[in-house]
Amino acid sequence: MRIVNQYTDPHCLKAITATWAQSGTVKTTADGEHWRYDFPGVSSLIPEKTSDVTLVAVEMTPAATLDTFMVENAAILRQSDGLLAVDVSKETRQMVSIVTKSETSVTLTGMLYATMSEWPILEAVGADIFAADTAAY
């Protein structure tokens, strides 16, 4: 059996173009094979999602920036070591709003879209395995 990552770019090789900033703009620059996002203060990344996605995990670097981020309409499952995993089952919009309230820079290195029924498996084997497109369990 396999967990299939429903996010179309699990390694974050393409830039997320939907952004919002209260003042200024979110700047996107290449950072090796990934993209760095420079947030000017209160701002967000807004990747699209389908309604069946109830679990979102984002891997970012540097890991210390993780504490400055939250996801709207979500409950935190894990927030450590550069990994933010959240339950977005209460999110009714076809998007995920990853928000920061401070000026910061971050590089996304992985993203997972799955269902909450897969969380216990991901948690048991190490949630950061989502760097692969699919994971055996």
As assigned by CATH, the class of the 2-136 domain is mainly beta
The per-residue pLDDT for range 16-71, each reduced to its tens digit, is: 999 999 999 999 999 999 999 999 999 999 999 999 999 999 999 998 888 899 99
The per-residue pLDDT for range 81-130, each reduced to its tens digit, is: 888 999 999 999 999 999 999 999 999 998 989 999 988 888 887 665 55
Within the chain, strands assigned E span: 2-4, 19-21, 27-31, 34-40, 43-45, 55-61, 69-71, 75-80, 83-87, 98-100, 103-114, 134-136
Whether the CB-CB separation of 25 and 97 falls below 8 Å is answered with no
